[in-house]
Amino acid sequence: MYRAEEREAEVISAFTLLAILVTCLGLLGLISFAAENRTKETGVRKVLGASVRDIVLLLSREFLVLWGSRS
Protein backbone atom coordinates (compact mmCIF):
# COMPACT_ATOMS: atom_id res chain seq x y z
CA MET A 1 0.00 0.00 0.00
CA TYR A 2 2.71 2.49 0.97
CA ARG A 3 5.41 0.91 -1.18
CA ALA A 4 5.00 3.51 -3.92
CA GLU A 5 5.46 6.36 -1.46
CA GLU A 6 8.52 4.67 0.06
CA ARG A 7 10.06 4.23 -3.38
CA GLU A 8 9.32 7.86 -4.24
CA ALA A 9 11.02 8.99 -1.02
CA GLU A 10 14.09 6.88 -1.87
CA VAL A 11 14.34 8.41 -5.34
CA ILE A 12 13.96 11.94 -3.96
CA SER A 13 16.62 11.23 -1.34
CA ALA A 14 19.02 9.93 -3.98
CA PHE A 15 18.56 13.01 -6.16
CA THR A 16 18.94 15.25 -3.11
CA LEU A 17 22.27 13.64 -2.26
CA LEU A 18 23.36 13.97 -5.87
CA ALA A 19 22.45 17.68 -5.87
CA ILE A 20 24.40 18.22 -2.64
CA LEU A 21 27.43 16.43 -4.12
CA VAL A 22 27.34 18.53 -7.30
CA THR A 23 27.02 21.70 -5.21
CA CYS A 24 30.01 20.75 -3.07
CA LEU A 25 32.10 20.03 -6.16
CA GLY A 26 31.13 23.40 -7.59
CA LEU A 27 32.16 25.16 -4.38
CA LEU A 28 35.45 23.29 -4.36
CA GLY A 29 36.11 24.39 -7.93
CA LEU A 30 35.24 27.99 -7.11
CA ILE A 31 37.50 28.03 -4.06
CA SER A 32 40.43 26.48 -5.94
CA PHE A 33 39.94 28.95 -8.81
CA ALA A 34 39.96 31.89 -6.39
CA ALA A 35 43.05 30.55 -4.61
CA GLU A 36 44.89 30.02 -7.89
CA ASN A 37 44.13 33.57 -9.01
CA ARG A 38 45.61 34.95 -5.78
CA THR A 39 48.85 32.96 -5.89
CA LYS A 40 51.06 36.00 -6.42
CA GLU A 41 49.40 37.87 -3.54
CA THR A 42 49.79 34.85 -1.28
CA GLY A 43 53.49 34.59 -2.13
CA VAL A 44 54.10 38.25 -1.36
CA ARG A 45 52.29 37.96 1.95
CA LYS A 46 54.35 34.88 2.88
CA VAL A 47 57.58 36.70 2.08
CA LEU A 48 56.45 39.62 4.22
CA GLY A 49 55.88 37.27 7.17
CA ALA A 50 52.23 36.26 7.06
CA SER A 51 51.40 33.11 8.99
CA VAL A 52 49.52 30.14 7.55
CA ARG A 53 46.50 31.26 9.57
CA ASP A 54 46.62 34.70 7.93
CA ILE A 55 46.77 33.17 4.46
CA VAL A 56 43.85 30.82 5.16
CA LEU A 57 41.75 33.68 6.54
CA LEU A 58 42.63 35.80 3.53
CA LEU A 59 41.47 33.14 1.09
CA SER A 60 38.36 32.11 2.99
CA ARG A 61 37.10 35.52 4.15
CA GLU A 62 34.94 36.27 1.12
CA PHE A 63 33.39 32.80 1.14
CA LEU A 64 32.67 33.03 4.86
CA VAL A 65 30.97 36.39 4.33
CA LEU A 66 28.83 34.96 1.54
CA TRP A 67 27.98 31.89 3.60
CA GLY A 68 27.15 33.98 6.66
CA SER A 69 24.95 36.41 4.73
CA ARG A 70 22.74 33.67 3.33
CA SER A 71 20.95 33.15 6.64
pLDDT in tens, 31-54: 889 889 989 999 999 999 999 999
Kindly give the residue spans of alpha helices, DSSP state H, lying in 1-71. 3-37, 39-47, 52-69
| Domain match, 31 and 45 both | no
The predicted-structure confidence for 51-68, as pLDDT tens digits, reads as follows: 999 998 988 887 888 777
The residue segments making up the domain with residue 3 are 1-37
| Domain match, 33 and 43 both | no
Residue 71 has pLDDT above 60, yes or no: no
Query: How high is the pLDDT of residue 58?
Result: 87
C-alpha–C-alpha distance, residues 30 and 63, integer Å: 10
| Domain match, 24 and 43 both | no
| Domain match, 3 and 32 both | yes
